[in-house]
Structure 1
Amino acid sequence: MIRSAPSRGLFVALCLALTSGLSACGQGSSDKAETEVTAGDYERGPHRGRMLRDGDFALEVTIYEEGPEPLFRLYPYINDKPVDPRQVQATIALARTGPKTDRFTFTSENDYLTGPGVVAEPHSFDVTVTATHAGRQHRWAYASYEGRTTIAADAARAGGVTVERVGPATLGESLALTGRVEIKPEGQSEVHARYPGRVMALNVELGTLVSRGQVIARVESSESLQTYAITAPISGMILAKNVNVGSITGGGEPMLMIGDPTQLHAEFLLYPRDAERVRAGQPIMVRSLAGDYTINGRIEAVLPSADLTSQVLIAHVHLSHQGGIWRPGLGVSGEVQVASTPAPLAVRTRALQPFRDFTVVYARFGTTYEVRMLELGRRTPEWTEVLGGIEPGTEYVVDGAFLIRADVEKSGASHDH
């Protein structure tokens, strides 16, 4: 992600020039110099729109946003007095990043000219306006940007900005589980005396590591009074010790319990509301409670718990040893994928950012970044379905998106026309 240290290079101020580069090209006014004003400093008309002037003719450009969709409305004037819109022919071309150009041809309605199409979000474009009145043509060009900034490629790379292309994805519905690490049954073994007798020697303590076949105790038989050796049936660690030297053994309780700490699995509790959705074979991500370690696996088996009255089931997931990062008895969390459906178009959920009243991603075009207002569908922690607002194949920012947003806000690219 972008660090604060290189912020001067990263947060390059957007030269928005919401300029009214009003290059009047009308007949009889070719000698009129192009007028440039700073962002937001242009002249506003009676309807709070942008005033475009060429001699005594003027055109006020507004976007009417009080209806279901934003539409252009143009108000013509001669010497600042309203003109019958039926006497004016007008067109607007909006050059967007992409590249893409939207074109509008206007017709008269009431006291204004109206465009036939919706002005799609974002309202960020280079605008060309032409109008004809009384046989004279007028032309203006200006920039009107919002949610746009420019960042040099090396600054973006240094800041950790990454991009992907919008495309299809598989949305997995997941279920959160809790459990803990346990030694597998096949990794545990009880140590019993073959014949009842007195423990004469005990060579291990709790936590001692032993090897299969190693002598770990000696017992004197109560019948023959002969001493025989007790060996470890498996390699592992002494987990339980129920006798000491001098103890009588040979009953039902084992002398020792050995567990192999390399043979582990996670046991997750499945309560009735979740048990019906979890099946053997489903993918699951297991995470340590501290969040430092994760492993992707599959549900091996779903078994009833020892407490039959609780109606709790237990899901087993194999854990590889991985150098001892998983330790018996420690808690773990799990995220099991219980369903998956394809989405024709999706973006990474972590790429989503707020912008005005919209949820957006930042599309990248070279060194230019610009918002794309999205219509969203289903959402998972990894993917979010896109129903509209961005073209398939468009590059968008995944990592570092919140810093692109900060640069946009710093630049002052506003919703203005």
Structure 2
Amino acid sequence: MIRMHRTLPYLLVLWLAAANTVTLAEHEHDEEDGDENREIHLSDKLAKAIDIKTDTAQSQVLHRTITSFGTLQLGADQLSHVRARFPGMLRSVSVDVGDRVSAGDVMAEVESDSSLKNYTLEAPISGTIIQRHANRGESAREQILFTIASYDQLWAELRIYPEQLDRVSAGLTAHIVAQGRELISSVSHVIPVIDKPYKIARVSVNNSVASLSPGLMVEGHIVLDEDAVALAVHNSALQKVDEQLGVFVKDHDHYRFTPVLTGRADDRYTEILQGLKANDVYVFHNSYVLKAELEKSTAGHSH
């Protein structure tokens, strides 16, 4: 076995900071299996410095999807404009823009012009006050005094073009990606749009935790069918070295390039038929760094 000591040239600053040496080891031909096993020795400290990330090979569900884009919108029943029931004068206002209210909360008190009796304006829905046009002593007529919006649920409105229409229907699972978050829901219905060449697939999005905003652009992945596979890795883990497709498998502080035979794939995972076993730890982020250094080591050794 020939060992060669070298740094990662384009990450030299990080290498110096970590005060480590990267050892590349290219193993000689193995007469039993005919493979060339290549290893890179990398301390955990340096691996962290160059942002090497690993995952565990395991079973996955592959999804055949179509991708669509759209925006988040409020539903019609999630926006309420509050007016005075009878003309009168505002005697008190108890809420302001940004306040959260529950259905039934008192927002203002109005003295009726006709009866001279006071009555209360109550919140018709739970949500956030996003507009206020009401002050004590002002006249309340037909104008909107308060606008309340409920953001706990939003709708992703995805554009579905003619070539996709025959494959998209209500009930299909949909993965909505917004601001780095992925939310799983389903298509509620597909509706036509006046004077547009596409239809809209509306997907309910639980926003009670995500705190997303209406108008935000989103990416939707609508699942057409699913396949469970026994073993899969992230697509980003796959690298080709000397015309062999494989992944870097981590064993303590060694990263071994391991050829694999692949099967089915979706936009996130690829099925592994041969080369790995369940629970193998492999590099899925920045594996190209290991590939580049391994290839340079091999080229240097060949000279």
TM-score (norm 1): 0.54
Corresponding position: 1:333 with 2:223? no
1:124-143 aligned at under 5 Å gives the runs: 124=36
Larger RCO (alpha carbons 8 Å, 6+ apart): 2
Over the aligned positions, Cα root-mean-square deviation in angstroms equals 3.9
1:378 equivalent in structure 2: 264
Corresponding position: 1:207 with 2:97? yes
Distance 1:371 1:350, change over 3 A: same
Shift of 1:194: 2.8
List per-residue Cα deviations over 1:123-172 (Å, max 9, x = no partner): x2xxxxxxxxxxxxxxxxxxxxxx6134055457645452534x543211
2:213 aligned counterpart, secondary structure: coil
Contact preservation (8 Å) 2:70, 2:156: yes
Shift of 1:349: 0.7
1:95 aligned counterpart, secondary structure: coil
1:343 equivalent in structure 2: 229
Corresponding position: 1:271 with 2:160? yes
List per-residue Cα deviations over 1:91-135 (Å, max 9, x = no partner): xxx636xxxx14xxxxxxxxxxxxxxxxx5x4x2xxxxxxxxxxx
- Structure with the higher helix share, 1 or 2: 2
2:206 equivalent in structure 1: 319
Shift of 1:351: 0.4
Q: How many residues align?
A: 280
2:202 aligned counterpart, secondary structure: strand
Contact preservation (8 Å) 1:270, 1:315: no
2:3 equivalent in structure 1: none
2:38 equivalent in structure 1: 148
Corresponding position: 1:220 with 2:231? no
1:329 aligned counterpart, secondary structure: coil
Unaligned runs of 5+ in 2: 1-7
Which of 282, 299, 307 is the aligned partner of 2:186?
299
AA at the equivalent of 2:38: R
Unaligned runs of 5+ in 1: 19-93, 103-119, 125-146
TM-score (norm 2): 0.70
Distance 1:356 1:266, change over 3 A: farther
* Distance in 2 between residues matched to 1:278 and 1:208, nearest whole Å: 38
2:63 equivalent in structure 1: 172
Q: Which protein shows a greater Rg?
A: 1
1:412 equivalent in structure 2: 298
Which of 15, 20, 45 is the aligned partner of 1:9?
20
Distance 1:232 1:170, change over 3 A: closer
Shift of 1:368: 4.8
List per-residue Cα deviations over 1:233-277 (Å, max 9, x = no partner): 33433345678834632xxx755432234x221322242444542
* Distance in 2 between residues matched to 1:353 and 1:368, nearest whole Å: 17
* Distance in 2 between residues matched to 1:398 and 1:391, nearest whole Å: 14
The percent identity for this pair of structures is 18
Distance 1:312 1:300, change over 3 A: closer
AA at the equivalent of 2:65: S
Shift of 1:408: 1.1
Contact preservation (8 Å) 1:297, 1:317: no
* Distance in 2 between residues matched to 1:210 and 1:148, nearest whole Å: 60
2:178 equivalent in structure 1: 287
* Distance in 1 between residues matched to 2:96 and 2:245, nearest whole Å: 57
* Distance in 2 between residues matched to 1:366 and 1:413, nearest whole Å: 26
